[in-house]
């Protein structure tokens, strides 16, 4: 019998503060229009409000969060490349339309070898057939889709938990 009550060995959760992790959120093309863009599909939360909520959520968990949006594939590739050397520990990415097209962004994430979660506001599987293909899902730690802005919230929660247990 393994009774830990008498000989409780201190584990990572027993009084040791873990280090602050740096989380990067990447938003792909047209997500700068969040709130205005097809609100019946993508919701009414602006990108600025969404990012502010994520920063607060990360900080409440003891981590930090930086966010970056671009409409340009090469800029997202370059941001992922930069993440290899800037102490980023985890990436949340909504590749938006690049989900279905971008081998370049997939390759950048594979090269970075950082854990990431693929995030979507809508559920691409409940939409047009071309949205069912993702160049990211098989490399991702997980995929969160279909919950509007809450998809990011759930993904960040999962990232924080994973970082805490790493």
**Given the rule CB under 6 A, which residues bind ligand DQA?**
30, 94, 96-97, 99, 120-122, 124, 131
Residue 11 class from Cβ within 10 Å (0-12 exposed, 13-18 middle, 19+ buried)?
exposed
Distance of CA 132 to the CA centre of its chain: 19
120 counts as catalytic: yes
Active-site residue (options: 27, 68, 100, 120): 120
Decide: helix, strand or coil at residue 91: strand
Partners of residue 92 on adjacent β-strands: 25, 117
If the CB atoms of residues 15 and 129 are measured against ligand DQA, the closer one turns out to be: 129
42 in active site: yes
Give the nearest distance from C-beta 30 to ligand DQA in angstroms. Answer: 5
* Phi, psi dihedrals of residue 69, rounded to the nearest 5°: -120, 140
Residue tagged active-site, from 16, 27, 42, 125: 42
Nearer of residues 30 and 46 to ligand DQA, judged by Cβ: 30
CB of 12 to ligand DQA, least distance (A): 34
Q: In the complex, what is the shortest distance from the CB of residue 62 to ligand DQA, in angstroms, rounded to a whole number?
A: 27
CB of 25 to ligand DQA, least distance (A): 13
> What tokens appear for 56 in the block?
């607060």
Answer yes or no: are the C-beta atoms of 137 and 131 closer than 8 Å.
no
Supply φ then ψ for residue 147, to 5 degrees. -110, 20
Q: How far apart are CA 48 and CA 66, in angstroms?
A: 12
* Catalytic (active-site) positions: 42, 120
């Amino acid at each position: 019998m393994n009774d830990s009550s008498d000989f409780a060995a201190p584990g990572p959760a027993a009084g040791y503060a873990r280090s602050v992790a740096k989380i990067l959120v990447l938003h792909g093309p047209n997500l700068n229009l969040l709130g205005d863009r097809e609100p019946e599909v993508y919701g009414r939360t602006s990108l600025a409000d969404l990012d502010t909520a994520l920063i607060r959520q990360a900080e409440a968990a003891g981590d930090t969060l930086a966010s970056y949006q671009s409409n340009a594939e090469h800029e997202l590739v370059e941001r992922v490349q930069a993440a290899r050397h800037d102490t980023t520990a985890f990436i949340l990415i909504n590749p938006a339309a690049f989900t279905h097209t971008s081998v370049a962004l997939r390759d950048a994430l594979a090269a970075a070898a950082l854990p990431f979660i693929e995030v979507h506001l809508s559920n691409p599987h409940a939409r047009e057939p071309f949205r069912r293909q993702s160049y990211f899902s098989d490399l991702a730690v997980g995929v969160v889709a279909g919950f509007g802005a809450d998809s990011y919230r759930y993904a960040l929660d999962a990232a924080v938990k994973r970082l805490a247990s790493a």
